[in-house]
Structures are given as C-alpha cells and as structure tokens.
Amino acid sequence: MNDVTVDSAKLQSAKNLTTVVYALYALAILIGLSSIVAIIINYVKKGDMAGTWLDSHFRWQIRTFWFSVLWAIVGALTVWAFIGWVVWFVAFIWYIYRIVKGWLNLNDNKPMYPA
C-alpha cells in the first residue's frame, strides 16, 4: 500500500468515527448518556483530527455539547419561571439544528467553519 492509500484509509476511518459521534449526539435526544460517550470520544480522538477538515467537526461537536450543558443549566435555574421552559425548548431546537447541519456538512465533505 502506498502513502496516499494509507492516508485515504485513515481519513475515511476518521470520517466514520465523526459520523458515529454525530449519531451518539443525535441518540442523546432519547438517551442522554450517549452524549457523555460522544464528548469523551471527541476529546480522546481530537488530536487525530488535527490538520484535517474533520477537526472543525470535532470543534463543532464539542461546542455543541458544552453550550447544550450551559443552556440546560440556565433552563433548570429559571424553570420556576416560565422562561426555563422556553430556554429548554429553544436549546432543543438549536441542538437539533447543530446535529443536522454538522451531519450534512460531513456528508458533503465540508468543514464546519469557512477557511
């Protein structure tokens, strides 16, 4: 096998892993703990993505996780007022948007942030 084939196989493997991580984040809508598995994978494999267009997807996924946690906390702290439910609803829609947009860009072999 030449270097191009090895690099291509590594990139495809990295893309497959990124797909799995998006699936875990999507599954978190039903089973919240899958997002914990996803964020662990993000941090463990982030170094492997450095220098590739997939690095932007890992940054996107990590930011999606942490901002979701932030909005969940804000919603919980304000749930006694009606605003907490609104925060949770908006955060839920935003979370779905982030997963869909990321997955679509991944499918099109596009990075998440313009170069």
pLDDT tens-digit readout, 37-47: 999 999 999 99
Q: Which residue has the higher pLDDT, 39 or 11?
A: 39
At 82, the pLDDT band (50, 70, 90 cuts) reads: confident
What does the pLDDT average to over 25-41? 96
For the chain, the domains span 3-107
How far apart are alpha carbons 8 and 77 in whole angstroms?
47
Residue 10, pLDDT > 60, answer yes
**pLDDT score recorded for residue 20:** 98
**Per-residue pLDDT averaged across 1-24, rounded?**
84
pLDDT band at residue 114 using 50, 70 and 90 as cut-offs: confident
pLDDT at 25: 98
What is the reported pLDDT for 115?
64
pLDDT for 5 equals 60
pTM value surpassing 0.75: yes
DSSP string, 32-89: TTHHHHHHHHHHHHHHHHTTSTHHHHHHHHHHHHHHHHHHHHHHHHTTTSTHHHHHHH
Q: No. of H helices and E strands in the chain? A: 4, 0
